[in-house]
Amino acid sequence: MSSGTGSGSGGSGAEAVEARLGAAVQAYQSAVDDFDRELARLMGVNETDLRCLEILLSVEETTPRELSRQLGLTTGSVTTMLDRLEKLAYLTRTPHPGDRRKTLIRVTPEATRRAYGLLGPFLDDAGGRVRARYTADQLELVIDYLTFTRDVQQEHVERLRKTPASHPARTGGRQSPGPRGGAAS
């Protein structure tokens, strides 16, 4: 959930741009959330499981403790999630070769093929359209903006993780509602 600043009417030109930027970022985040929800539905997982798979696709291997840290979940919740993903043949768990107390988690080739089979058309289309629309210098500015705002966002994720919840946390991750239209969201 994000919020733009400024009203967008009246005020200075900078305030109007800031309001448009806030609205654009919020609309982009909504589109990413919608895409992720549909990807989770097609992969047969919930959105937390999908985020785990996203992490696994970006590294060769990791540990449950590292997944717990990155996802902001308890180690028990991570174990339950890994059980679900292993049952779907999306990951493997093997003993760490240097420390028998640790386990290494790896995404399976089948999960990689399936995920990139669904993601590939988007990545190819978006990459081509972006390269056709923006110069290398403009893309450097976009990269700087995204990197900077990701860092700010992550600082606030950590702040929120340290804030006590007013209600008990739900477990199991948010479930994918399925295709739009017939299901309530």
* DSSP conformation letters of 109-156: HHHHHHHHHHHHHHHHHHHHHHHHHS-HHHHHHHHHHHHHHHHHHHHH
CA distances from 123 to 70, 142, 152 (A): 24, 17, 25
Q: Is residue 177 part of a domain?
A: no
Give yes or no: residues 124 and 156 share one domain: yes
Residues 102, 87, single domain; the answer is yes
Both 94 and 132 in one domain: the answer is no
| Average confidence (pLDDT) over 45-57 | 96
- Average pLDDT score, the chain: 88
- Of 107, 130, 155, the domain-final residue: 107
CA distance 131 to 133: 6
Say if residue 103 is in the same domain as residue 56: yes
Q: What percent of the chain has pLDDT over 90?
A: 77
The percentage of the chain sitting over the pLDDT mark of 70, rounded to a whole number, equals 85
Residue 144 predicted with pLDDT over 70: yes
Per the domain annotation, does 150 fall within a domain? yes
Q: How far apart are CA 176 and CA 185, in angstroms?
A: 9
